[in-house]
Structure 1
Amino acid sequence: MLMTGLILMGMIMHCLVLGYVIPAAQCDLELTSQQKGWLSALPFTAIILTSYFWGWLADTKGRRTAMLGSMFLAVVISAISSFAPNLTSFAVLQFVSAIFMTGPSAVVYTFLGEFHNLRHRDKMVTFGSAFIGIGTVVLPCEVTDYGESSHELEQRESRTNGFYIWFPTILNALGSQDSVNMKICDVIELTRAKAAADTLNSTTIICDDTIYTSTFERSIYVGLVFCSMYLIVAVLVDFVGKKYILVVTLTITGICAISANLVYDQQIAVVLFAIFQMSGACVGLTNAVAVQLFPTKYRGMAVCLSMMSGRTGSMVGSYLIGLFLDINCGAGFYLFGSLLVVNGLTCLTLPNMKKEKVPKTITNETKETQEP
């Protein structure tokens, strides 16, 4: 579990690191919003394009072979990309590195699940997924030592919905406005209007790298809550079962998403919005369900395709949220909150997978053969 957990932590940090590098270099490279957007989308694009291949390779050549080779090449190419002389070469190397990182990011769930029997499989997969939360805590802790901009968190990787990418941005807007009785969307619109007014009144365009340390602090706190959520789910899964945890978690987080834009108290809104992000704790359980539902010869491909679908939703969701924030902020909260509620209710159709009993026929047959 420790080995696979470290792989997951390395994977999430590899995906998140672009969100820290790009804004730090945006002034020097004169990056536009479009360029930052497609650079940040490179890991998602690599996962979508190559997940099927890595699933096939894991099922035909073995999980260990697929993970070892891809991890080694991902690390080497990522290190080389740090010496890239221009934007084009950096983007190409990062894309190739993300292709090789796609292999272990999904195959590791199958690898971990098959190492344990049915009794402990769900718990161990969820415990291993807790390292994702650890990775989201470690990376901003490291970056704050270098005094990077809080805007580096704007392109963070999504867990289960594209809103997580915009989580630091929304926190940054709430922290920059002295608002008490305002809804989240009202604060965001006020922040955007103020920024537009400052741009019109200025004769020169200034590249803003203002540091708001509260954004880093809140992101670290959310990462710690994610770790706690994973651990709580891992403890409860043996008693409650994957099915009902998915139903309850997705439904509650969806309701919190809808409610976050209905309250006028800023502190309550932040709490509800943070609970909304806790739907990410269902990633491990979802992959545990895939490991259990599909036979061994198809598991690697099934989990990889599941991850591909999730990352596709992350990309589409993040762009839709950016659009909603410009034209109708509240619609984004209501739409994605409703989707989570629907997904939670859909999980009721899953078969009951609560602590399936392992058959004891082998033990009985062994005892019979030993009798004279």
Structure 2
Amino acid sequence: MASGVNNTDVERTEVKPGEADTLLKKNELSFEEAFELTGHGKFNHFVLLTCGLIMLNVSMESVGMSYVITAAECELELTSEHKGLINAAAFIGIIVTSFLWGYLGDRFGRRAVMLPAMLASAVFSVASSFSTNVWTLLILRMLTGCLISASSATVYAYLGEMHISSRRAAAIAWGSAFISFSFIILPGLAWLIIPGKWSWSLFGFRVVPWRAFVWSWCAPGLLAAVALLLLPESPRYLLVSGGPEKALPVLEKMYFWNHGTSAEKFPVEKITTSSDLGQRGGFVGALQNITLLCRPPLLRCVAISHISMFAVFMLSSGLYVWVPDILNSILRNTSEQQISICEIIHNKFEVARNLTLVAIKCESEVSVGVFPISMSMGVIFAITYLAIGVFIDRIGQKTLYSGIMIVCGAATVAAAHSPHGLGAALLVLALCAGCAASILAAIAVDVFPTTLRAMAMCVMYMVGRAGAALGANLLGAALDTRCAAAFAALGLLSAGSTVLMLFWPKPEKVREEMEKKGLSY
């Protein structure tokens, strides 16, 4: 309890909307006590919706090219290696800039970093649709990745800091459910746009369906940017960077939104702090803070969470960007035998090589059956994400995460050797590994202090995207000739990584040690 608070103050438990109006005005409360009094309502729901749109935007920008590469195969003369690079381009952009965005997020604020970056990413994404060769497309997709990197992990810090600790894991899980919507919306838009045979001229440039499809997926990011204009900076960040005076107006605004009453009725006049909050100014101060990530007790948390996120993305995103192409191969397979996915892919490779030798004209044809199947996959992902939101606090975060990764890893290995019908179903199950990323984020976000949280999350997702880039390129290089070995490597690494969760420390112990060093949560 903060000093200076009367013993006659009302007991401070979580207050439901409307009840705080009856409380006596308090002179001083700790930040956590004041945060509890803001309640949980419209403000939190709007934050959840906004962060969900941001996650939706990041996901669509990251994996949208998986629906483009087949349609643009002939126009841009794409090989399997080119497809792997294009699929990995956004992830590479995220990787090379995550450290920078993490620093900027901790230095200038979560909202201040995400808002301009989302607007700029939309500009580069649209520009990439005008590419006339593979290398221009590759560079522009990498630049788009550099900009969506600002939101890809910072959004988890922002969303988590807008909720009390007891609601944080569920909020991150519900927000992450929007990622699954991208797996419904993207194939839905592709179904509407890509099969079209139309084309038209824009300033002398020939626009074909796949180029217009790229424009369509920029909408969620623009909507999220508008929503962010209505939201304040994270109060926890403001507490650390500017002190209680900066954080109090945001808490008042949260109270106003949640209770439907005036901000002046917020029953707190002053927020007390028990430490200097660990804030160090400037780049040198940021580097000093970052070194704490490389020392106990955070070092173990960093190592486990980052390696685990690498495995999650390597399987889910690395495999997902190839699924539309794999499904297209399955649907166009004319063999009446129940052969495996890997056999279908190898046969397609042999046919393509023979056509190249006799110089037959390339034809890009996308089977429309790919799109409803992909949308069905998205529905499964959405159900999985929503189930995680319901059960994450009942089953336990680590148990739920480990169970999902083991099942998905086993499904990946089995998919390569099963008849193509069953194999396709197992691929869908394997891709549910992506849902585990939200659980891992909820596990990790709790142990990092406010001044390190954005940096830690950005670096964790940077490592994750490195796994996605490696997975996409591994499949690009091996799918035609070493398909089964590539699937086995992805599956076994993902399932085996769950062993690390046995060594995850107790969050309470980590927080206690870091608070002794003067850092705030």
8 Å Cα contact 1:163-1:317 kept in structure 2 = yes
8 Å Cα contact 2:121-2:148 kept in structure 1 = yes
Counterparts of 1:165 and 1:84, CA distance in 2:
20
Q: Does residue 14 in structure 1 map to residue 171 in structure 2?
A: no
Which residue of the partner structure matches residue 447 of structure 2? 293
Structure 1 residues 251, 59: CA separation in 2 closer, same or farther (over 3 Å shift)? same
Instruction: Map 1:65-76 onto structure 2 (within 5 A).
Output: 65-76=112-123
- The one-letter amino acid of 2:178's match is F
Unaligned segments of structure 2, at least 5 residues: 1-47, 197-209, 211-311, 509-521
SS at match of 1:134: helix
Q: For each residue in 1:105-164, what CA deviation from the matched residue of structure 2 results, as whole angstroms up to 9, or x when unmatched?
A: 110011101111121111110111111111121122112222349xx8xxxxx9442222
Structure 1 residues 130, 74: CA separation in 2 closer, same or farther (over 3 Å shift)? same
Which residue of the partner structure matches residue 162 of structure 2? 115
Match among 319, 323, 335 for residue 167 of structure 1: 323
Normalised by the length of structure 2, the TM-score is: 0.61
Query: Percent identity between the aligned chains?
Result: 33
Counterparts of 2:175 and 2:445, CA distance in 1:
14
Q: For each residue in 1:272-294, what CA deviation from the matched residue of structure 2 results, as whole angstroms up to 9, or x when unmatched?
A: 22111111101111111221121
Q: For each residue in 1:295-353, what CA deviation from the matched residue of structure 2 results, as whole angstroms up to 9, or x when unmatched?
A: 11111011111111111111112222233323322212222111112112222222467
Match among 102, 124, 146 for residue 55 of structure 1: 102
8 Å Cα contact 1:113-1:291 kept in structure 2 = yes
Instruction: Map 1:238-317 onto structure 2 (within 5 A).
Output: 238-263=393-418, 265-317=419-471
Q: Does residue 187 in structure 1 map to residue 234 in structure 2?
A: no
8 Å Cα contact 1:242-1:353 kept in structure 2 = no
SS at match of 1:182: coil
Structure 1 residues 346, 41: CA separation in 2 closer, same or farther (over 3 Å shift)? same
Structure 1 residues 211, 94: CA separation in 2 closer, same or farther (over 3 Å shift)? closer
SS at match of 1:256: helix
Counterparts of 1:195 and 1:165, CA distance in 2:
21
After TM superposition, give the deviation of residue 52 of structure 1 in Å.
0.2
Higher helix share: 1
8 Å Cα contact 1:244-1:348 kept in structure 2 = no
8 Å Cα contact 2:416-2:487 kept in structure 1 = yes
After TM superposition, give the deviation of residue 91 of structure 1 in Å.
4.9
Structure 1 residues 97, 341: CA separation in 2 closer, same or farther (over 3 Å shift)? closer
CA RMSD of aligned residues (A): 2.6
Whose radius of gyration is greater, 1 or 2? Answer: 2
Counterparts of 2:504 and 2:426, CA distance in 1:
28
Which residue of the partner structure matches residue 216 of structure 1? 371
Counterparts of 2:342 and 2:68, CA distance in 1:
28
Normalised by the length of structure 1, the TM-score is: 0.83
8 Å Cα contact 2:86-2:137 kept in structure 1 = no
8 Å Cα contact 1:241-1:353 kept in structure 2 = no
8 Å Cα contact 1:8-1:132 kept in structure 2 = yes
Structure 1 residues 205, 252: CA separation in 2 closer, same or farther (over 3 Å shift)? same
Instruction: Map 1:91-102 onto structure 2 (within 5 A).
Output: 91-102=138-149
8 Å Cα contact 2:85-2:138 kept in structure 1 = no
Counterparts of 1:79 and 1:168, CA distance in 2:
22
Q: Does residue 328 in structure 1 map to residue 482 in structure 2?
A: yes
